[in-house]
């Protein structure tokens, strides 16, 4: 039986001698293997591509396309490249063995073969292939897990927007790109108006629900793949808009405002509106080597402060120049 825990595999025997095929077929079939047969290289290539056997026992000396050429085609075909090939031949000199391994064969059995040796080598290479596939599966699963962990590490758990870490990394990256290409970079800083009274009235659970709905409104307005909406902290949110001048940034800010207004989130203790509103500060610049990305946040923060001073529920733009 095969040495792995899987069911016996499918073997393709390629040999132009009917007697050899009959011996191998009967012997290996008794051990539970499913046997496919080809009498020349051309048929072997077609069967291997269509049936995807677990292993190929390949004779070298065949008329027309010999075993070496057949193996070369198998290894150059992405669909059959990974199928293990064991050569079987009366050619026992070192040069032919070296040639077989250079072509990608995993083993070499000299004729006349011993049945028990064939079985042992088949089992060994099926086990190796089984373990390789297990390792590949585990590697893929680990990569997916790492990607998910990375995603969670840069995600705000409540709002599902990017978190502060992701925001800082993204701003640094887009600043460098904008500096290199001399294109505008814009930023919107949003703050929920009178959020503390909202929490005091409805409780923290309702406050969390409010934050989630505001986040959805912001994210809905941020439509381009390169734009990033993030939770800045508490009830503050930030939007990074690469390659966006001030006019485009203001359009996005008004879109956010409109989306939020359409939700009609009741806020009886707001001093500016019966519904939840946002104050927003917008900044835009073409980066230079004499300033850092922090300048965008600082300017947007000053614009946000003015929006609050002027009565909240409004959008104020400021530029670095």
Active site residues: 235
- Give the number of other CB atoms < 10 A from CB of residue 283: 26
Strands 107-110 and 185-192: unpaired
Cross-strand bridge partners of residue 57: 13, 86
Helix (H, G, I), strand (E, B) or coil at 109: strand
DSSP string, 159-184: T-SB-HHHHHHHHHHHHHHHHHHT--
**In the block, residue with structure tokens 């390789």:** 132
State whether the Cα torsion 125-127-131-136 is positive or negative: positive
Strand arrangement, sheet containing 236-242: 228-233, 236-242, 185-192, 278-285, 315-319
23 contacts 59 by C-beta, under 8 angstroms: no
Count helices and strands (H / E) in the chain.
10, 10
């Amino acid at each position: 039986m095969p040495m792995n825990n899987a069911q016996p595999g499918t073997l393709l025997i390629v040999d132009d001698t009917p007697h050899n095929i009959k011996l191998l077929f009967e012997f290996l079939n008794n051990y539970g293997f499913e046997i496919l047969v080809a009498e020349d290289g051309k048929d072997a290539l077609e069967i291997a591509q269509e049936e995807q056997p677990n292993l190929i026992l390949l004779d070298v000396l065949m008329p027309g396309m010999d075993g070496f050429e057949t193996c070369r085609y198998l290894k150059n075909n992405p669909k059959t490249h990974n199928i293990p090939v064991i050569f079987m031949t009366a050619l026992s000199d070192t040069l032919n063995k070296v040639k077989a391994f250079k072509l990608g064969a995993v083993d070499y059995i000299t004729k006349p073969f011993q049945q028990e040796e064939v079985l042992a080598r088949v089992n060994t290479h099926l086990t190796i292939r089984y373990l390789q596939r297990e390792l590949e599966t585990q590697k893929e699963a680990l990569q997916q897990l790492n990607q998910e962990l990375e995603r969670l590490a840069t995600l705000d758990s409540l709002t599902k927007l990017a978190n502060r870490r992701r925001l800082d990394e993204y701003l640094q990256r887009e600043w460098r790109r904008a500096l290199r290409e001399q294109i505008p970079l814009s930023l919107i800083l949003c703050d929920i108006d009178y959020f503390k009274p909202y929490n005091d009235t409805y409780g923290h659970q309702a406050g969390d629900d409010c934050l989630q709905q505001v986040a959805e409104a912001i994210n809905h307005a941020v439509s381009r793949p390169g734009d990033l909406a993030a939770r800045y902290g508490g009830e503050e949110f930030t939007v990074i808009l690469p390659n966006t001048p001030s006019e485009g940034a203001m359009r996005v800010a008004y879109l956010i405002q409109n989306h939020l207004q359409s939700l009609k989130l009741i806020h009886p203790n707001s001093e500016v509106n019966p519904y939840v509103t946002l104050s927003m500060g917008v900044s835009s610049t073409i980066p230079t080597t004499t300033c850092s990305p922090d300048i965008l946040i600082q300017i947007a923060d000053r614009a946000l402060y003015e929006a609050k001073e002027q009565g909240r529920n409004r959008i104020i733009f400021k530029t670095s120049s």
